[in-house]
Amino acid sequence: MILADRVAIVTGAGSGIGRAGALIMAQEGAHVVVADLNRDGAEETLRQIEAAGGSAESLVLDVTDDTALEAGIAAIASKRGRIDILHNHAGAQVAGDLEHVSVTGFDRSWNLNVRSHFMAARLVMPIMRQAGKGVILNTSSSSGVLYDREMIAYTTTKHAVIAMTRQMAGDYAKFGIRVNALCPGWVDTPFNDPFIAQMGGRGAIEAYVAEKVPLGRWADVCEIAEPILFLVSDRSSYMTGQILVVDGGETIV
């Protein structure tokens, strides 16, 4: 197992891509800390990991709460003696163009999609630096490398994640710490509900995906889990500061 004996924290692991990433890391031997605001979601991910013979624990918290985040990470480090992997995945879509997005929605998007990633990385970095190794994976989006219709809050934050990832990678490579970003395209999860509503329903989004994505379909979460595993494991040991786009070809057209 390629992640044997490693400790991984995955935020937003209570559903969707976060859950798929947590499951595959546990399958490959990591002890996974399932961090999520939704207790039921976190417990379900934990149940699935343990049912498959993996090792995990849940950490129910709001990642935008600095105090709770610091306490949670400190508790994991104290209990496990190490943190090898941080996958910053928790995020949200907030729909609207410049004139129609709510200011509170924009602020929420920034705090969750960017600032919480910054804070979690800041908190684990001393632990990784002392160990002389570690991996941080930040979830951006294909919206971080292209235009996304009337989604200014989302695209702004996801572009920012890429810039932040590159900066972290450049600053901390000398300590043996790798930092990369994952940019998923259209993945069929409830995360897309705000955009589906904005587009006018499921039928409209299906037609949109079929037209915009060269492969003509959504991705299943398992198709994103494998790239996650690649980026957090030694299979990508000479990669840092890179942006892996997994989007069915949308960004090439």
**Residue pLDDT, tens place only, 130-166:** 999 999 999 999 999 988 778 899 999 999 999 999 9
Please name which of 87, 31, 86, 82 lies closest in space to residue 54, comparing C-alpha atoms.
31
* Residue at 65: amino acid letter: D
Please name which of 72, 14, 69, 11 lies closest in space to residue 40, comparing C-alpha atoms.
14
Portion of the chain with pLDDT greater than 70, in percent: 100
Q: Give residue 85's pLDDT band: very low, low, confident or very high (50, 70, 90).
A: very high
**Residue pLDDT, tens place only, 181-199:** 999 999 988 777 777 777 7
Say which CATH superfamily domain 7-187+220-245 falls into.
NAD(P)-binding Rossmann-like Domain (3.40.50.720)
Q: Which strands make up the sheet holding 55-60, listed edge to edge?
A: 55-60, 31-36, 7-11, 85-88, 134-139, 177-184, 243-246
How would DSSP label each residue in 154-222?
HHHHHHHHHHHHHHHHHHHGGGTEEEEEEEE--B-SGGGHHHHHHHTSHHHHHHHHHHH-TT-SPBPTH
Cα 85 versus chain centre, distance: 12
Q: What angle do CA 89, 93, 94 make, to 5 degrees?
A: 145
The kind and range of the H/E element at 28 are none
Please, which residues have CB within 8 angstroms of residue 33's CB and are 6 or more apart in sequence?
7, 8, 9, 10, 56, 57, 58, 59, 76
Which is higher by pLDDT, 211 or 28? 28
Enzyme catalytic residues: 154
